[in-house]
Structure 1
């Protein structure tokens, strides 16, 4: 047997054991990130109802803003994640998610503390409500970016070179972590609200995100720095999305247009204005993503599931 093959067989168990230990860091960071998101997801409805107990309008507005932000900007977030390096996406994700929850928690604390704002200073009251909605929407979008990065990118890269069941196991553990946070975070938040106050739960959320952002970043960067495959995959993505080819194509098309006679050039430009406008609208990320979705085989089941959600919400 070749000496290199023997060395590879001896080093493989060590490589697998180090990967397994680093995957635990990934699980811990994912737990901290999802716990904060689930705390806010459960609490925001109670905050909005308590701000003006006589109506559910503010809670409905927040839900509409959050859902519409995902529908309009979700595809843009996906393209943005695909174009940037893993480290850059990680940094922007953690900073925007935690900072948005801190801002939203601070705005909610102000609204709950100064309960007379809606009658004495309506402009400040509306400003805090708008700030809460915008911060919540940014937090949801950043959470989506983190979900794409960890669950769609890192997990796949970490499973390369391992048995097929390793990817399934990682996906199941990450899913269980998310479901556990969705189950337990409302329980803990409910205890704080019941035995202390709503204001205390908002302060606890802001403090949680302030402290855990540093731990999350350290955990994720430990995984990234100690697994070379993540850095290699990040470089491949950047080289694949290099704009050099696009610039060359654009330059070639402009040069070919300049070779046309002036009359033909002017006529072609005039005729293509409407076409370009239509193409520009159809190529918008929020519209292009729906076009891709409508071409899939799961369109009808997805519509059926959406109608089921409408039925439940009624």
Structure 2
């Protein structure tokens, strides 16, 4: 008990001692500033390496995404059923960084062959199609492991650790605040990590050195991530408590093993039926459709741009501009929701405000405050503006594509 108390006390910053409970200890519900900082550091290094390797290993990412579709649910179930939160998170960190390091080694073997090495003269291997094929298969396998472990790390951190240690609503470091910071960290890493890798390749003039840089970054980040995660875990009794795992009866397990593939398929589609019977499918489907776009900066689109002749520097700059807009949305959206939710800014639509408030009261109940009602109204209005702007831009882009296509056809016929 004394060691736990000492570890908690040494984990605090001086600014965290002025809590309303009047003592200098860790607040019973919520995070201290130092705990939150360590949580952010661990998450930042995880997302940094994930974004960097995603950008560096474009060729294999298309195959990796198919594997993600098949095995992601199994990873989520493993995270949910693991009793120790710390062991689960550390396993994903070690597995992820190890797969990046080993994958980088095999990419070096592929890129060091004589037909791919270019103007470099150091460490040149003779061209061997069999070795190249085997190396590519192994590198893709490690890429699949990297993506699955990154998915497990994300689930463990954002869906388990953050939810467990978050303070009650309205307090510092509540769930809304932690989610916003986590999202901002992800977007910043999405912006900076590819730029840094592209800059290394451009300055050094070697793709192989860029691969080595990616592997070394993963190697260096392992102790930092592990140290930060352990500090948060050591100071949080909530995280140290074993997770409640539902136990399956032996009869149920025997029935599951003896079921035919037809019944398993029926059960699989029954899950879809349960999903669409809830109200959560509407916002989750809307979020999924947000990425249903060929112009999204993913492996497919970036690989296509490289194949048609765009340089890596141009692609990096374009992606960076898009990431800047994404980061700005995390600042603009809360203020826009707050602005739209204030009724005095929309005096011309007074009757509609009453309808919105009546609908909001049906959701929140009469016991909720006026602030919650304004937030719901702001979400409705700001979301409507956002989707309307997306539709307008989609129609405009489609019109430009059609006009350009007709212009090419007319010019060709002439």
Indicate how the Cα distance of structure 1 residues 304 and 38 shifts in structure 2: closer, same or farther if over 3 A, else same: closer
Residues 72-130 of structure 1: per-residue CA shift (max 9 Å, x gap): 11111111100002122112201110011001111111111123489842111101111
CA contact (8 A) 1:82 1:237 kept: no
Cα distance, 1:119–1:176 mapped onto 2, change above 3 Å: same
Instruction: Name the structure 1 match of 2:41.
Output: 28
Number of the residue aligned with 2:114: 115
Displacement of 1:23 after TM fit?
Answer: 0.9
After the TM superposition, which of the residue ranges 173-182 and 113-122 deviates more from structure 2?
A: 113-122
User: Which of 140, 150, 155 in structure 2 is aligned with 1:133?
Assistant: 140
TM-score, normalised relative to structure 2: 0.57
Residue in 2 that maps onto 1:211: 220
SS of the residue corresponding to residue 243 of structure 2 reads helix
Q: How far apart in 2 are the matches of 1:146 and 1:78?
A: 10
Cα distance, 1:161 vs structure 2: 4.2
Q: 2:80 aligns with which of 75, 79, 82?
A: 82
What's the offset of the Cα at 1:36? Answer: 1.1
Deviation (angstroms), 1:208 = 1.2
Are the structure 2 counterparts of residues 291 and 96 from structure 1 closer, same or farther at C-alpha, using a change threshold of 3 Å?
farther
Q: Give the corresponding residue for 1:221.
A: 230
1:10-159 to structure 2, matched below 5 A, reads 10-11=22-23, 14-15=26-27, 19-45=32-58, 59=59, 62-84=60-82, 85-116=84-115, 120-159=127-166
For residues 188 and 105 of structure 1, what CA distance do their matches in structure 2 show? Answer: 17
How far is 1:303 from its partner? 6.8
TM-score (normalizing by structure 1): 0.74
Aligned counterparts of 2:27 and 2:214: Cα–Cα separation in 1: 38
Give the Cα–Cα distance (whole angstroms) in 2 for the partners of residues 128 and 229 of structure 1.
44
Compared CA separation, residues 225 and 276, structure 1 to 2 (3 A): same
2: distance between equivalents of 1:12 and 1:282? Answer: 56
Contact 2:103-2:138 at 8 Å conserved across structures: yes
Partner of residue 279, structure 1? 263
Answer whether contact 1:157 1:229 (CA < 8 A) is retained. Answer: yes
Deviation at 1:190, TM superposition (A): 1.1
Q: Distance in 2 between matches of 1:250 and 1:131?
A: 35
Aligned residues: 264
* CA distance in structure 2 between the aligned counterparts of 1:12 and 1:167, rounded to whole angstroms: 23
Displacement of 1:294: 5.0
Greater helix share, structure number:
1
Task: Determine the structure 1 residue equivalent to 2:250.
Answer: 247
Alpha carbons of 1:288 and 1:223: their partners in 2 closer, same or farther (altered >3 Å)?
Answer: farther
Residues 1:237 and 2:207 are matched in the alignment: no
Segments of structure 2 that go 5 or more residues without pairing to the other structure are 1-18, 117-124, 305-414
Distance in 2 separating the partners of 1:150 and 1:77: 13
Q: Distance in 1 between matches of 2:247 and 2:32?
A: 30
**Could you tell me how far apart the structure 1 residues matched to 2:67 and 2:276 are?**
20
Q: Which residue of 2 aligns with 1:189?
A: 197
Q: 1:304 to 1:249 in 2, by over 3 A?
A: closer
Shift of residue 18, structure 1, vs aligned partner: 6.2
The answer as to 2:187 corresponding to 1:171 is no
Shift of residue 33, structure 1, vs aligned partner: 1.3
Find the aligned partners of 1:76 and 1:288 in 2 and give their Cα distance. Answer: 18
Please tell me whether the aligned partners of residues 86 and 229 of structure 2 are also in contact (alpha carbons under 8 angstroms).
Answer: no
Shift of 1:204: 1.0
